[in-house]
Amino acid sequence: MQTKETISIAIVKNQQQQFLITRRQEGQHLAGKWEFPGGKVEEGESLTQAMQRELKEEVGLTAIDYCLFDTMTFDYDQLTLQLNFYFVSEFTGEAKGLEGQMMQWVTLEELQGYEFPKANKTVIEKLS
């Protein structure tokens, strides 16, 4: 049986033109791969509320200026994900791996050197 999840993701870009990425930890789906901060939309939450909450919980940032960048559906073996990517151009706070995850600020060119889940690769291409 196919499980469906709705995910909100923040593509955070700083003033140095770098993007914030984090590494999925052991025990998580697609462990070891890099990703943009985000997670499941909880019941009663809007897509933007979920993006804001996940960004705060995972890396301690508050999105100030953002817009929906892309939406896509992606199928894994037993999981269908509706991915909602928000481009965050202004934020407050200092990014930290609040869940013990590795975190990096990288340029658009450097993103190509990191291993991301397949669903993220399309979005990275659209950022170019």
> Which residue type sits at 18?
Q
Please give the residue that has the higher pLDDT: either 78 or 29.
Answer: 78
Q: Is the pLDDT of residue 29 over 90?
A: no
What pTM did the predictor assign?
Answer: 0.92
Under 8 Å between Cβ of 101 and 23: yes
pLDDT interval class at 2 (50, 70, 90): confident
Mean pLDDT of the 11-36 span = 91
> Which residue type sits at 112?
Q
- Mean pLDDT estimate for the chain: 93
Chain segment 30-89, per-residue pLDDT in tens: 778 999 999 999 999 999 999 999 999 999 999 999 999 999 998 878 889 999 999 999
| Domains contained in the chain, CATH given | 3-127 (3.90.79.10)
pLDDT interval class at 117 (50, 70, 90): confident
- Tell me how far apart the alpha carbons of residues 20 and 34 are, in angstroms, rounded to a whole number: 10
Q: What integer pLDDT is reported at residue 52 of this predicted model?
A: 98
Q: What integer pLDDT is reported at residue 1 of this predicted model?
A: 65
Q: Three-state DSSP class for 47?
A: helix
- b/e map 26-57, b = 16+ CB within 10 Å: eeeeeeeebbbbbbebeeeeebbebbbbbbbe
